[in-house]
Structure 1
Amino acid sequence: VIGNEWFADGALGGKKMLIVDDTDDNIVLICAYLQRSGLKIDNVADGIAALENIKSISYDLILMDIQMPLLDGIETCFLMRMRGLTQPIVACTAIGLSPSEIAGANFNAFLPKPIFRDALFECLSDYLIVQS
């Protein structure tokens, strides 16, 4: 398990993450868990807004809900990959997904809801922390 020191005192300064989720409570919770990390976090409520954001901002990681209005997470991930996005995209949902469904939708990983701090840290550490 990754120690909390990786997510404290600005350790992730310079990294950027996009949260794509239509539920404010989820966004507030994730931001609270990561408040001391130095990670710059943007958030949008649907896939269409996410596709607009990635046109002008390069994120180190995208955390994406599956069930959203306008454009769901699976379709959004597909469109991002079709546009050449190679950064990690993590599916974050209460819907259980099998490893083949995650890979088939071009997600790098799956983070179940409800979101627990240690699970979030473990998932993000795979993509945001460079081990020396």
Structure 2
Amino acid sequence: MSEVYPYRLADFLQRQVGDGLRSVIYHDRDEYEVVFVREDVDDYDGEIDAIVTDLWADSHEQAIREDIRGHGALNCTVWVFDEAIEMHFVADERKGVAVALDTETFLAQSSFIRQCLGIAGLE
């Protein structure tokens, strides 16, 4: 099993993107922990159990996605929303760390994605 360091990741992201970090959630087979949540982010109130259930499902499907696509190990999935971009770093089945960043913060950190969105007419 992979060793996971969610607090180390949260510290890194706070230094790297500052207030653009919305949340960091660690989960394993039996439990989860909200490692960091920005004060003004209240999206998780009452919804955290459903979010973690979705993360578990995403982790569980890791092996299926790896087999179907044939690109090797799946390390991260990314969901792009209007207000946030979520990255789910998958350690193994039902274990990983989910990170949410403000969309603008993520795009500022990734000029390649910003260029692709612009070229596609989506920005």
Instruction: Say yes or no: TM over 0.5.
Output: no
- Greater strand share, structure number: 2
The one of the two structures with greater contact order (alpha-carbon pairs below 8 A, sep at least 6) is 2
Pick the structure with greater CA Rg: 2
